[in-house]
Amino acid sequence: MIRISIQERENWQELAKEVGFQFHTIDGEKYWDESACYRFTLEQIEQDIEDPTAELEQMCFQAVDRVINDESLMEKLAIPQPYWDYVRSSWQNRERNLYGRMDFSYDGKSPAKLLEYNADTPTSLYESAAFQWVWMEQAMEQGLIPPDCDQFNSIHEQLISAFRAMEIDGTLHMAACQGSLEDEGTVLYLEECATQAHVKTHFIHMEEIGIDADGRLTDLQDNVITNLFKLYPWEWMMREEFGEAMPTSGVTFIEPAWKTILSNKGILPVLWEMFEGHPNLLPSYFMEDAHKLTGGFAKKPIYSREGAGVSLHENGQTLEEVKGPYGEEGHIVQALHPLPVFEGNHAVIGSWLVASQPSGIGIREDNSAITKDTSRFVPHVIRE
Amino acid sequence: MKRSKSLKLALMGATILTMSACDNTEDTAAIFKDVDECAQFEGENLDQCRQGWEQAAEEHVRTAPKYTSIAECQADFGEEQCEQAPQQTSSGGSVFMPMMMGYMMGSMLANGTRSNVATQPLYRSKDDPKTFRTGDNQKVSTKTGVQPVPSTVTKAPSTKTSTVRRGGFGTTAARTSTSSRSYGG
């Protein structure tokens, strides 16, 4: 795994505009960054990322099994009690999941360590699946990189077959929040994949969803919603006004409700307790057991996104902290395992799962040790 | 190879037209304004026509657009074109829907079954009264009889209801942040 400075494609901004990648630059700061790329060997990809991702997913399934059968863990994960049965039955009915992203700290040499699993509302999907893919094809064509490169990235193909396998009956409504270009872009991309799988889609903002007298969810044309992809966290939906309608609304949700267990930082101490010493896990504990950690640690809110509310501590000092609105539901601690630094850039590997199968990676760099929503996306290649 | 073999982005990019052009498949459907017209059509018989009509009428209750005032319904479908639906609002109020103006089903095949078209009611809107539309407001055709129609209109239409309230999702996002660019992560 090395970082290589390369030449940018001359026209990439125009291309981005043409294919609807509107958030490549955010508030004047570069988000898509092709002035460099990461190069991996096939062995690094397959043995150090792909295989561990598949194995961790199986471990996560065992952890979900454990949590749904243990009310004290449901409590620790701050899953509201009225939804326990609903979450349980979504798992017991094997409701299909679409995608997720495991974030790893990996330096190309030692085992990749799972930092967290964004199993419910992962973004950076479009740039990983599509724009990164197009970048490599064009960069090879233009001679900016050698012509025999490969990429760990079958996300696009996998998404289409996952949608096909879901055998969605009727329309799939697809929702994002108002006011986020990035989230709308992600949903638009997924809509595209669903359409290519011959699924009929209909976009709606979360705020526009309605409810009828029988507690069914509706769109703006008063159609009853029966399938809903929501780029909106389960833990928020459960605490909002229409939340209580969900279990009896007849809606099949993507992601399914059991994903709220995996996207929860509380899954990290559960995994550690079940698989202590596993090479891809970091020691993690709920706050009451925090004293078991020696050395530096990261403190993370149970519910947190884009690094918000995360702080890093060592020798009684706070190394770094990102302020954020999260944390009222509690925290976990995780042994400190700083991201590798390549020419001043802290790099995190997002390992994508589609229908629980490892399908590709996307790399984000940040100037500081905590990856935030101001990080930059840098493409990668596989070449011996 | 560890990457997708091909990648096509139609909706998001400029290639949208080529994409929809090759995706334009058609089904053969039988469209009639009532049982009588159907029964007179070659290859159909009264029993089957009636059966199709009854099925479409049942779908009509489920899939017709719903209104809580007759005036709103008439604004979309015209005077004398609306009727009371069997549904009620949560407070016991009346619900209205347009009348069924025709029906669509699969065309009769040689083996006595019908082509793969969901049997359903058809409507005519006030601003475009010549065109039959599905309960999902998709244009089907201006004429009756057996004919090719876009396969996008032959699926079962969605259930219609009347929304009593909106805005029950999204409040956490509104409260949580104005600076974050994504609510995912």
Q: Name the one residue in this structure whose structure tokens are 């007298």.
A: A213
pLDDT, tens digit, for every residue of A145-191? 999 999 999 999 999 999 999 999 889 999 999 988 889 989 999 99
Residues 6+ apart with CB under 8 A from A382: A39, A40, A41, A42, A45, A149, A150, A151, A152, B2
pLDDT of residue B17: 28
CA distance A189 to B9: 8
Distance CA A134, CA A130 (A): 6
3-state DSSP of chain A: CEEEECCCCCCHHHHHHHCCCCCCEECCEECECCCEEEEECHHHHHHHHHHHHHHHHHHHHHHHHHHHCCHHHHHHCCCCHHHHHHHHHHHHCCCCCCEEEEEEECCCCCCCEEEEEECCCCCCHHHHHHHHHHHHHHHHHCCCCCCCCECCECHHHHHHHHHHHCCCCCCEEEEECCCCHHHHHHHHHHHHHHHHCCCCEEEEEHHHCEEECCCCEECCCCEECCEEEECCCHHHHCCCCCHHHHHHCCCEEECCCCHHHHCCCCHHHHHHHHCCCCCCCCCEEEHHHHHHCCCCEEEEECCCCCCCCCEEEECCEEEEECCCCCCCCCEEEEECCCCCEECCEEEEEEEEEECCEEEEEEEEEECCCCCCCCCEEECEEECC
Q: Which residue of A19, A178, A216 is in closest CB contact with B161?
A: A216
Which residues of chain B from 74 to 113 reach within 8 Å of chain A, CB to CB?
88-90
CB of B130 within 8 Å of a chain A CB? The answer is no
pLDDT band at B10 (very low <50, low <70, confident <90, very high): low
Which segment of A33-42, A118-127, B45-54, B108-117 scores lowest on mean pLDDT? B108-117
Residue A23 with chain B: CB contacts under 8 Å: 181
Sequence letter at residue A246: M
In chain A, the percentage of residues whose pLDDT exceeds 90 is 82
Contacts with A, B 17-76, CB within 8 Å:
65-66
pLDDT of the residue at B16: 33
Q: Which amino acid is at B148?
A: P
Q: By the 8 A CB rule, do B99 and B82 touch?
A: yes
Helix (H) / strand (E) containing B26? strand B26-32
Contact A115, A52 (CB under 8 A): no
> Is any Cβ of chain A less than 8 angstroms from the Cβ of B176?
yes
The pLDDT of residue B76:
95
Q: Average pLDDT in the B167-182 region?
A: 77
Query: Is residue B46 a contact partner of residue B39, using CB atoms and an 8 Å limit?
Result: yes
Task: Assess contact for A221 and A247: CB atoms under 8 A.
Answer: no
CA distance A271 to A115: 12
Strand partners, A40: A382
How many other β-carbons are positioned within 10 Å of the β-carbon of residue A314?
14
The predicted-structure confidence for B125-158, as pLDDT tens digits, reads as follows 999 999 999 998 999 999 999 999 998 899 899 9
Average pLDDT over residues B107-116: 86
Determine the residue of chain B that is closest to A31 in CA distance. Answer: B181
Query: What pairs with residue B139 in β-bridges?
Result: B133
Q: How many CB atoms lie within 10 A of CB A37?
A: 24
- Chain B positions in Cβ-Cβ contact with residue A18 (cut-off 8 Å): 13-14
Strand, coil or helix: B165: strand
| Percentage, residues of chain B above pLDDT 70 | 87
47-106 of A, contacting B, C-beta below 8 A? none
Task: Answer yes or no: are the C-beta atoms of A286 and A76 closer than 8 Å.
Answer: yes
| ipTM score for this prediction | 0.90
Query: What's chain B's length in residues?
Result: 185
CB contact under 8 A, B12 and A231: no
Q: Give tens-digit pLDDT for A20-71.
A: 788 888 888 899 999 999 999 999 999 999 999 999 999 999 999 999 999 9
- A74-101 residues labelled b (16+ CB within 10 A) or e (exposed): bebbbbbeebeebbbebbeeebbbbbbb
Local confidence pLDDT in tens for the 384 residues of chain A:
999 999 999 989 988 888 778 888 888 889 999 999 999 999 999 999 999 999 999 999 999 999 999 999 999 999 999 999 999 999 999 999 999 999 999 999 999 999 999 999 998 999 999 999 999 999 999 999 999 999 999 999 999 999 999 999 889 999 999 988 889 989 999 999 999 999 999 999 999 999 998 999 999 999 999 999 999 999 999 999 999 999 999 999 999 999 999 999 999 999 999 999 999 999 999 999 999 998 999 999 999 777 788 899 998 888 888 877 666 788 999 999 999 999 999 999 999 999 999 999 999 999 888 887 779 999 999 998
Between CA B155 and CA A198 the distance in angstroms is: 12
B-chain residue closest to A156, CA distance: B4
- Of A157, A222, A233, Cβ closest to residue B65: A222
What was the pLDDT predicted at A167?
92
The answer to whether A207 contacts B167, with C-beta atoms less than 8 Å apart, is yes
Which residues of chain A have a CB within 8 Å of the CB of B12? 19-21, 188-189, 192
Going by pLDDT thresholds of 50, 70 and 90, the confidence category of residue B18 is: very low
Cβ atoms of residues A367 and A117 within 8 Å:
no
Q: Report yes or no: A281 and A332 within 8 Å, Cβ to Cβ.
A: no
Q: What is the reported pTM?
A: 0.89
Over residues B77-91, mean pLDDT: 91
